[in-house]
Amino acid sequence: MNNLICSSCAKKFSLQDRIWKCSCGSFLDIEFSASFPIEKIRRRNLSMWRYQEAIPLNDHENIITFQEGFSPLLPLNFWGKKVWIKQEHLFPTGSYKDRGASVLVSKIKELGLKEVVEDSSGNAGCAIAAYCARAGIKCQIFVPYDTSPAKVAQIEAYGARVHRIPGSREDSAHAALEAAEKIYYASHSWNPFFFQGTKTMAFELCEQLGWHSPDVVILPVGNGTLLLGCFFGFKDLCQAGLINKTPRLLGIQAAACAPLYWAWRKNSAVELSLPKYETLAEGIAIANPIRGRQILQAIKETAGDILIVEEGEIKEALIDVARRGFYIEPTAAATIAGLRKYLRSSPPAETIVSVFTGHGLKATEKILRILADLH
C-alpha cells in the first residue's frame, strides 16, 4: 500500500492529503513500493526522473524539472586511495537540494496548492524558490539574519518573499512553523516528499557503478536530508532485488554543532545542542534535528558511524579540492574533511563514495576569509 505513515503513532494518511505532519505532532514517512524497469530506465534522459516508477507521484504531467540529476561521478585520489565523488554542487541552484525540491514541488503542484513556506540556512531555500518559480507557485522563505548574501540574493531573484529572522537557525525554523499553521510547509526536514527526491542519489550511484552498491558512503549530516534520502534509496534498491545490502553510511558533523555525534557516542537520545562557536559549515549546524532518532537508526542499521571535524580540517579540505580544480562551499568541504579522516584508517579495497554537496560561488565571503588565513 502507498501511504503517508506517522513515524511515532503509525497512523496512516493518503498520499493525496495536504498535510506535512501527523495529528500527533510527529513527522511523517512514506510507504511506497518502488520499481525499477531497467530497460526503460536505460533509454530515458540522464536525469533523476529516469527513476519515475520509484517516485510517489500520481501523474507525471505534474513533474517540475530542469532535467536535473545524474550528476557526474568522478574518481579522485586521496593518499593513494580511490574515492568516487558525486558532484552534487553542479545542480541548477548549486546544491543537491534540487533533488528534494523537484519531487516536493511536483507533489505540491499535484496537490493543487498555490503557496508554500520554507525555512533554510540557504540552499534548501534556493532550491524551493527556484522550483516554485518554475511551477508558478508563490513561496515565502525564512532565513537566519546572517545567511550568506549570495544565497539571499539567489532566493530573492527567483521571486520568493524572503524573511530574514534575527537570532539562530532555530529562530527562523520557529518563524516558519508559525507561518505553516496557515500555509503548506515545504520543509526539507519535515516534509517526507523531499526525501523521495534526495533518495535518487542512491539510485544514480548504483547505476553509475554498474548496478553495484558501494561499500561505504560518506555524507554530511545535519537534518539528514541526504543521508536519510540515501538510506531510503538504498532500501528501495534492496527491496527491488537490485542490490543485496545497503552500504555503510558515515555521517559527518562539524565539531561546533554535533548533537548527533554525541548521541551516537553516548548511545542516548539526541539533545538540543546550540553551536558552541560560529562554524564555516553553516549548512550542517543543526542544533535540533527533528529526524534525529531516524538518522541514528539509519546509521545503526547500516553499521555506519558518525565523525566530527574541526574548523581547521574544513579549511584544509576546501583548499585541497580547490587546488585540484573543484570549487565547493565550506559546508561541502566539511564532508571531505570527514572523508580524509576516515581514509586514514579505512580498510583497503573498499568502494568508497562521497559527495560535493554545494557550489563555492555560494560562499564567496567565507572563502575569502579562508584564503586570507593562508597568507
Ligand X SMILES: *Cc1c(COP(=O)(O)O)cnc(C)c1O
**Contact region for ligand X (CB under 6 A) — 57-65, 141-149, 178-186, 215-223?**
215-223
Q: Site mask, ligand X, residues 32-61, x = CB under 6 A?
A: ------------------------------
Q: Are 29 and 193 in contact (CB under 8 A)?
A: no
* Whole-number Å distance between alpha carbons of 38 and 361: 36
4 is a contact residue toward Zn ion (CB under 5 A):
no
Q: How far is the CB of 331 from ligand X (least distance, A)?
A: 4
User: Mind giving me the DSSP string for 200-259?
Assistant: HHHHHHHHHTTS---SEEEEE-SS-HHHHHHHHHHHHHHHTTS-SSPPEEEEEEETTB-H
- Residue 91 in grid coordinates: 545542480
Among the listed residues 108, 141, 226, 308, the single contact to ligand X using CB under 6 A = 226
Which regions of the chain does DSSP assign to beta strands (E)?
Answer: 3-6, 12-13, 28-31, 73-78, 81-87, 115-119, 138-144, 161-165, 184-185, 216-220, 248-254, 305-309, 352-356
Q: How many CB atoms neighbour CB 66 within 10 A? A: 14
Q: How far is the CB of 37 from ligand X (least distance, A)?
A: 30
- Cell 593562508, residue located: 374
348 Cβ partners below 8 Å, 6+ apart?
81
3 is a contact residue toward Zn ion (CB under 5 A):
no
6 is a contact residue toward Zn ion (CB under 5 A):
yes
Number of residues that bind ligand X (CB under 6 A): 18
9 is a contact residue toward Zn ion (CB under 5 A):
yes
Q: How many CB atoms neighbour CB 175 within 10 A? A: 20
Q: What is the identity of the amino acid at 21? A: K
Among the listed residues 97, 109, 235, 366, the single contact to ligand X using CB under 6 A = 97
274 is a contact residue toward Zn ion (CB under 5 A):
no
237 is a contact residue toward ligand X (CB under 6 A):
no
Q: Site mask, ligand X, residues 317-336, x = CB under 6 A?
A: ------------x-xx----
Q: Site mask, ligand X, residues 278-307, x = CB under 6 A?
A: -----xx-x---------------------
Which of 126/243 has CB closer to ligand X? 126
Q: What is the identity of the amino acid at 200? A: T
Which of 123/294 has CB closer to ligand X? 123
104 is a contact residue toward ligand X (CB under 6 A):
no
13 Cβ partners below 8 Å, 6+ apart?
3, 4, 5, 6, 19, 22, 28
Q: How far is the CB of 286 from ligand X (least distance, A)?
A: 5
Q: How far is the CB of 8 from Zn ion (least distance, A)?
A: 5
Residues 338-357 that bind ligand X (CB under 6 A): 357
Which of 4/226 has CB closer to ligand X? 226
Contact residues for Zn ion, defined by CB under 5 A:
6, 8-9, 11, 22, 24, 26
Contact residues for ligand X, defined by CB under 6 A:
95, 97, 123, 220-226, 283-284, 286, 329, 331-332, 357-358
